Structure 1
Amino acid sequence: MRIAMWSGPRNLSTAMTYAFGNRADFAIWDEPFYAPYLATTGIDHPMLAEILAAHETDPDKVAARCIGSIPGGKPHFYMKHMPLHMIEGFPLDWAAGCVNVHLLRHPARVVASYAAKRENPTLDDIGFRQQVELFQRFPGPVIDSADIREDPEGMLRALCAEIGLGFDPAMLHWPAGPRAEDGVWAAHWYGAVHRSTGFAGAEGPLPGLNGPAAALAEAALPYYEELADKRILPR
């Protein structure tokens, strides 16, 4: 099985990658198209030079690896992808051979978290519009990070059942610290996950936003709600 897990930034996506990576039967890959996206768009992101130096920047070569041999000879492959990385001209046909799963988080939480790591985010930066477009082409189970944090085992069991995969309790905990499969950008973005050994508890009230941040979350909300209405729930 090849899982393409699609999400925007600051969205529990790294914790989900660690959960699947802690299974003995899965290889994992961290944002394969991030370096091609940066190389093609020229957008200034934290650690830009390091990312371009350390990772493959040719989108066609990355796509070939998505459907190539699974690393380590494992039976299953989990790939953490962001719809915003799949800009016009990048190959997407490879995703037809994957189980496509869509991970959501309320835009108010995404904007508050993203703005703490990179200034002045835009709607394109947080990926909600692109995720709806990608879901229309590659539909699949929708899961919400709030539901996962509320009931990690129930949600992971529900997701595994939905995609025909046996649940493994190893998904609920992982060793603290970085993983060898992390992208080089982990040094900037993954501090909280590296300090964790499992999913954090339920989140509190939505953060209060003002000015451009509030306007950005409001613009993203209809896209989030369109997919959130389709989300699966714990079993």
Structure 2
Amino acid sequence: MDANLLFLWGTPRSMSTAFLRMMLERGDHEVFHEPFSSIVVQGWTTVGDHKVSSHDELSRHLEERARDHPVFVKETTEYDYLTNGGDHIPSVGRHTFIIRDPRRVIPSHYAMNPEMVCAEIGYGHQVALARRVRELTGVRPYVVEAEDLLTDARGTIERYCAGAGIPFLESSLSWQPGDQQVWSRTSPWHQDAAGSTCFTRSDRAYRSTTDNDRFLYDCYWHHRPHYNVLRKWARTQHAVSVV
């Protein structure tokens, strides 16, 4: 797998856009924001001068792009790419994952999208992709816990860089606030990231939570086992073989 092409897969509201903002600050990767979900939502995305309309076509163009320079792709897992034309995705590049406690993710997602269905929370799709990557490579992909970015950003990113095979750049841990063109299609979802200057905790309270809303409660218990799979992986990062 091409180490020059690096993926980060997270559920919506998992701090993955803040992570992308850090990658933008590095300046050593071409950064793509949710190109696979763009194909699902609008039927196409762009890679350089190319307009592409399928997941496999997108994978090929990203591979070609990464032949000349490092490429970073941040994508969300509310959609099932593997069984909808993206079966080639796990065999392209190096795949990493970011997880966040579903008790934080689910109310935040629901506040942005009250019409969401339970599957769109994304942990099931995320763990299916992670398992497929493990089957192909024989090792567990690297998993970041978003909460660690809030308590030890430097150490967490340093370990991530080691796991992903890229140099650690301490200067990337802070940045100037502002919207970024790369996430313009979905900018209303990224106002926390746009207003941030580093990895920072949001203390926003939500009216509907997994404690007081039955639908969100049921979604939590549906996705919790998937989250726990990747959380276990995150806590055993030195595992080097399939168990």
TM-score normalised by L of structure 1: 0.83
2:57 maps to 1:61: yes
Q: Compare relative contact order (CA 8 Å, sep 6+) and give the higher one, 1 or 2.
A: 1
Q: Contact (CA 8 Å) 1:172, 1:199: kept in 2 or not?
A: yes
Show structure 2 runs of 5+ residues with no match. 44-50, 135-140, 238-243
Pairing 1:26-175 to 2, within 5 Å after superposition: 26-39=29-42, 57-70=53-66, 75-85=69-79, 86=81, 88-139=83-134, 140-175=141-176
Q: Contact (CA 8 Å) 1:30, 1:181: kept in 2 or not?
A: yes
Query: Equivalent of 1:229, from 218, 229, 232?
Result: 232
Q: Contact (CA 8 Å) 1:35, 1:57: kept in 2 or not?
A: no
Q: Contact (CA 8 Å) 1:2, 1:98: kept in 2 or not?
A: yes
Pairing 1:170-185 to 2, within 5 Å after superposition: 170-185=171-186
Q: Report Cα offsets for 1:135-184 as digits up to 9, x if no partner.
A: 11113101110111111111000111122221001220122111222241
Partner SS state of residue 200, structure 1: coil
Query: 1:83 deviation in Å?
Result: 3.1
Aligned length: 217
Given the superposition, is the C-alpha separation of residues 2 and 176 from structure 1 closer, same or farther in structure 2, using an over 3 Å criterion?
same
Show structure 1 runs of 5+ residues with no match. 41-54
Query: 2-side partners of 1:2 and 1:228: how far apart?
Result: 24
Query: 1:205 deviation in Å?
Result: 11
Query: 1:90 deviation in Å?
Result: 1.7
Given the superposition, is the C-alpha separation of residues 120 and 202 from structure 1 closer, same or farther in structure 2, using an over 3 Å criterion?
closer
Query: 1:219 deviation in Å?
Result: 1.3
The percent identity for this pair of structures is 20
Q: Report Cα offsets for 1:22-71 as digits up to 9, x if no partner.
A: 1121111000111221257xxxxxxxxxxxxxx85443432232212249
Given the superposition, is the C-alpha separation of residues 58 and 164 from structure 1 closer, same or farther in structure 2, using an over 3 Å criterion?
closer
Amino acid paired to 1:168: L
Query: 1-side partners of 2:204 and 2:176: how far apart?
Result: 25
TM-score normalised by L of structure 2: 0.80
Given the superposition, is the C-alpha separation of residues 231 and 164 from structure 1 closer, same or farther in structure 2, using an over 3 Å criterion?
same
Query: 2-side partners of 1:35 and 1:112: how far apart?
Result: 23
Query: 1:82 deviation in Å?
Result: 2.2
Q: Contact (CA 8 Å) 1:4, 1:98: kept in 2 or not?
A: yes
Query: 1:88 deviation in Å?
Result: 2.0
Amino acid paired to 1:21: L
